[in-house]
Amino acid sequence: MVITCEFLFEELTKRLESYLIETKASWLRLHFSIIFQKSFQNNKFQELQNWCNDIIVKHPEMFFESKDFTSIQENALISIIKRDDLQMKETKIWKHVIEWGIAQNPGIPSNPKNWTNENFLTMKTVLENCLPHIRYFQISGSDVIDHLQPYQQIFDKNLWDDIIKRFLSSDRPVLSVILPPRVVLKQAFPPRTNEPFSMIINEAHAAEITSWIDKKADVYSAINSPYEFKLLLRGTRDGFTPASFWNLCDKQTNLVVVAKIKGTEEILGGYNPIGWDEPINPGVYKYCNESFIFSLKNGTIKNSILSRVKNPEYAIYNRSNCGPTFGGGFFLSHDLMLINPNKCWNHKASYEKRIRNAKYNSEGMSYFLVDEYEIFQISKKP
């Protein structure tokens, strides 16, 4: 698409752009960061820009808190902050805009108390095109003092005077342009379809998992389970890359991982309420006392197996070249390694029990390959 645009094949460029959006949406989401940045390197890709922005305004944290945020182009940032339907508090938007501005000038201190007059002038210039899109008059109360006043010298004097007027009395007239408040979107219930929410587990499996989360003695039924499952990532072992996992699941919380094992009817998985954080170091553990791993009843597998964490300091393992990993410890292999490009395994270390009815070697390891996998984020139903 980029190449056809460079050769001025405009009709073909548009067809390719439409083809990607209409038939390859899951692929676009999998590579969202690079797709977003590429789309704003050429103003011809308006449809793709709008497609990306429609996702970001509904889930702004994935954009503003990503590791690539401070390196995005100015036009991409402006396209987001000018949207009336951006679902984020104005104080947070302001904080991230300042963060972006500082990143464009690494010599500027992060604390505005340490800024020189030259620093303020630099930031005023850098943010010149962003500032008109902030809804200053939607920031009220102590937030004006806490979030805006430290940066007072960035604003034109007339605008700052109007902000203070509104802070003292919301009814006082101002000369500055007052942008409309951002629209708060109401959650719409999607129409029911015959398409299953998962290619691996069914509603009964999901209800059993949520019963374990709530530590219920009686299993929820598929009808009365209070949780809903939102698919973040789906794929096969051959198509798995660690980058795809970290791009879509990094810092996401309340995650359920399920995997279909090659050559058996097993469904293995785990629940991680605190999420995985892509580490800078080779491998980092996170403390969690609510996580668990499991095997689900399926086909010839007559009973589900639940294994709760017993050593919470080693509950969750983060490694940038691997997928979701549970457990382990000092000189111990991980309890459940899933979606590893090379091999996966189950071991008993930091969780209560083994979750496979399979042969384990002399070191207590049981290796397997994954055919399909899915990662969901769960939340309470409204």
* Mean pLDDT calculated for residue range 199-216: 94
Higher pLDDT, 188 or 113: 113
- Report residue 308: phi and psi, to 5°: -85, 160
Q: Which residues contact 359 (CB under 8 A, 6 or more apart)?
A: 366
Beta carbons of 165 and 174 less than 8 angstroms apart: yes
* Mean pLDDT calculated for residue range 164-182: 87
195 pLDDT band, cuts 50/70/90, is low
- Orientation angle between helical segments 10-23 and 46-58, nearest 10 degrees: 30
Give tens-digit pLDDT for 244-285. 888 889 999 999 999 999 889 899 999 999 999 998 777 899
Partnered with residue 255 across adjacent β-strands are: 272, 377
Q: What pLDDT is attached to residue 281? A: 74
Give tens-digit pLDDT for 68-104. 899 999 999 999 999 999 999 999 999 999 999 999 9
Beta carbons of 304 and 272 less than 8 angstroms apart: no
- Report residue 373: phi and psi, to 5°: -145, 155
Distance CA 380, CA 382 (A): 6
For the chain, what are the domain ranges? 1-84, 89-181, 203-380
Tell me, rounded to whole angstroms, the distance of Cα 33 from its chain centroid. 11
Q: What pLDDT is attached to residue 334? A: 92
User: Within a 13 Å sphere around the CA of 120, how many CA atoms are in the beta-carbon half?
Assistant: 14
Query: Two tokens at 317?
Result: 């393992």
